[in-house]
Structure 1
Amino acid sequence: VFLWLLSPFPCVGVIFANGERWKQLRQFSVATLRNLGMGKRTLQETIAEEARALVEEIRKTNGSPFDPSRPVSHAVGNVISSIAFGDRFDYQDQTFLSLLDVIQTSRVSPAFPPQLYEMFPGIMRFLPGPHNRILQHVEVLHDFVTERVQRNQKTLDPGCPRDYIDAFLIKMEESEFHTKNLALSVVHLFFGGTEMVSATLRYGFLLLMKYPEVQEKVHQEIDGVVGRHRDPAAEDRSRMPYTHAVIHEIQRFSNIIPLGIPHAVIRDTQFRGYTLPKGTDVFCVLGSALRDPRHFSDPERFDPGNFLDENGGFKKNHAFMAFSSGKRVCLGEGLARMELFLVFTSVLQRFTLQSPVDPQDIDLTPKASGFWNIPPEYRVCALPR
């Protein structure tokens, strides 16, 4: 689906650009995210605000079964929106809800023909078929971003950038900072930043219902370190090794992006008897590392112990590549880690998650698998603690 987001602008945007264009866009994006608060208390407060709003939205279910997809995506999407657009959206905002629907439709479709797209990328949009529905939805996202860019252009203050769009507009006089790169970079940040964290959290909640003994240990650690009378904070993570390990194991086990982001060979390369010409796209198969039995004793089993030492402390594992690897490692890794910890612990602080079905009957098979591993649809009962 990410490849479709590029059409009809190949090699544009911060994720898929190459060469000097990619270098400039990435350096700018990393610096801008840092300036806008990534890794700072200001962004932690934004995430905490969205976590509280999510908790209140869940509380409205009164313990009845509900689909967590939309509220979780809304909370995570609001964090990215505050960075990209300088705004957050109410849970009843129809414009934002339509964007979340676009992401949901675009991330998985039974009619999506990836093999045809790989063979005939230039003509797919001109052929009839259900795949055109995805393209139509993606255009909605492009149109929304374009409208936001035009709005910012009218009120831009070069001395006081409000968001990612403002910062990009200020740099527009430089060669690689043009409208197409701006629009696609924002689309990539919004789509990737929303879906990767949202899918991980949704898989995490499903896994905790499947393994209630793990959920109970997380509850005990939250109660012991954070308590019930204040919100979790990023500083708590270092004192919560079990919860930290559980989040890592959720990422490892769910393997949300098994192929990672495409890299490119910078020179003619020989690999295992094959010649890879300069410019060839290559993928880092992250799933093979995350399920490598040389680094994880029973890789097909969900086990937070993969990230715990003999004393119960958090243990790093060099095969953990949930954020990709190399120079194209996720540029929002710091933001994603903070979101995962704060949203996860905020929800578990307030609720016990139970499945309407027997835990043994919970199916963990992805709804769709390919570029993304999409968690299956499910319902959850959030019981106040």
Structure 2
Amino acid sequence: ATAGAILVGLRSGASVGVAVGRVRSAPNPGRGQVAPFSSTGLAFDGRVKPELVAPGVALTTSEPGTGTAGAPTYGTVNGSSAAAAVVAGAAALLAQARTALDASALRSLLAETARPLAATPVTAQGAGRVDPGAASAAELAVEPASLAVGRAGGSGWEGRQTLVVRNLSTRDLPVRIRIEHSSEGAAAVRFSARPARFRLRRGHTMQIPLRVTVAGSRVGTAPAEGAILVGAVGDQPLRMPWAVTFGAPHRDLLRRVSLSLSSFRPSDQKPSVLTLEAGKLAHTAGHDEVQALERLDITLWNARGVRLGLLARLRDVLPGTYEFGITGRSPAGAPLDHGVYQLRIVAVPTSKGPATRRSLTFRIR
């Protein structure tokens, strides 16, 4: 707006004065690093999220409206929404450059050709900063783009995954798989991929079994981090970030389970209220961890131990307090006969581990 006002003044022959100050340059320690407002950590199933990062601080963009003399206006934006727009633009460029690729391959190339940031945890950056130029030149794609290895209990623990390597090029490729460790964490983690070297024909895919083991005793709970590198010999390898967390399986994911009435008549207007706390927030390895549920089931049983059916099922349950109206009706909707019944509540964790189970008894008058 200031430049526009000066131009208008000069064109009209007016005298225009400008005050000039002195500037001083200073280094920006946050340049090239993940912004503090960007979410970090693992997904509920232990998969590395985010899978990649993109510029999202002080991005120049157009603003609505016009300035002096109809000149366009510009501003800057910050946030992960701005970074998502950058990745969306990179995806559009990649789709235009590689028209023969499907959505799964395009996603893999965007995530796996990202450039890692120095001194930044895998759980903050995924594979690194998006690089559309590298994605457009890649000859391989790998699924999954990041691994959900799971929570390791201690020495002798073992996890398994499968990598699907796909040749996107027009030539046969000699492929090599390597494992990169960026942080050892609470215990030594070892990977085994068989075969680690193979030749992949053009247009073909190959499934590679991946075995993960904990080789030593656990000290603390800090996660182990790194990346699986898959590439044609002589080319820049693709990067699939991984992380292994340590600790006992999530337990006690149901608390304060109660019924407001233990004896009642069937009623849609005045049901007995089942209240429970599902999931929890925990502080592990110096970070807050959301322990969510993959599934929460409530089933109805009679006094003879016969399952009458499913009353409620919730999926992807975040920690919190939940209430359910128990109306005294069967899963089919019919009023229950007089007698004693049981509610069985099962909370299935998102990570590998036993489900938490609770039961409550009530009477229909």
- Whether TM exceeds 0.5 here: the answer is no
Q: TM-score, normalised by structure 1?
A: 0.25
TM-score scaled by length of structure 2: 0.26
Q: Which has the higher helix share?
A: 1
Larger Rg: 2
Higher strand share: 2
